[in-house]
Amino acid sequence: MSVEFEKQEANRLMTGIEDGGMTAADAYNIAENRDPVFLYFMTRYLREKYPPGSPQAQGVTERLIELTSTYDSIVKAIQEGEKDSMREWFDDSYSMKEFFRDSQEFVDLIVDKLES
């Protein structure tokens, strides 16, 4: 698959979870084909952007919980992605907050790094 297609699907997944535009089943159908490292970063991004107590957190959190409690393979992929060395690269170079205004920039960065 092309890098642009990966970016498009990754962004569609993040946006669907963030704004509630897709069901857990639809999210799973996209997530099952994404790299575990991307799934880890996407989950982390959404959790950090919408911490408990944030007015928008409830919907995002509910959608993440529904996805991960319904599909064990997604949880396993996220756990696998968390162990990757790319996590250290990101933490040394960036802050998640840098991307809260532009999730597409975040997706592009992560996908480009995965594809390089």
Rounded CA separation 51/97 (Å): 12
Q: Which long-range contacts (CB under 8 A, 24 or more apart) does 84-91 make?
A: 84/36, 84/37, 84/40, 86/37, 86/41, 86/113, 86/114, 87/37, 87/40, 89/113, 90/41
Predicted confidence (pLDDT) per residue in 4-56, tens digit: 999 999 999 999 999 999 999 999 999 999 999 999 999 999 999 999 888 88
> What confidence score (pLDDT) does residue 1 get?
63
> What confidence score (pLDDT) does residue 116 get?
86
> What confidence score (pLDDT) does residue 89 get?
96
79 pLDDT higher than 80: yes
**Arithmetic mean of pLDDT, 91-111:** 95
84 pLDDT higher than 90: yes
Q: Which long-range contacts (CB under 8 A, 24 or more apart) does 32-36 make?
A: 32/71, 32/73, 32/74, 33/9, 34/6, 34/9, 34/10, 34/77, 35/81, 35/114, 36/77, 36/78, 36/80, 36/81, 36/84
Mean pLDDT across the chain, nearest whole number?
Answer: 94
Is the pTM higher than 0.75? The answer reads: yes
Predicted confidence (pLDDT) per residue in 60-75, tens digit: 999 999 999 999 999 9
99 pLDDT higher than 90: yes
Q: Is 34 helix (H, G, I), strand (E, B) or coil?
A: coil
Rounded CA separation 25/70 (Å): 9
**Arithmetic mean of pLDDT, 77-90:** 96
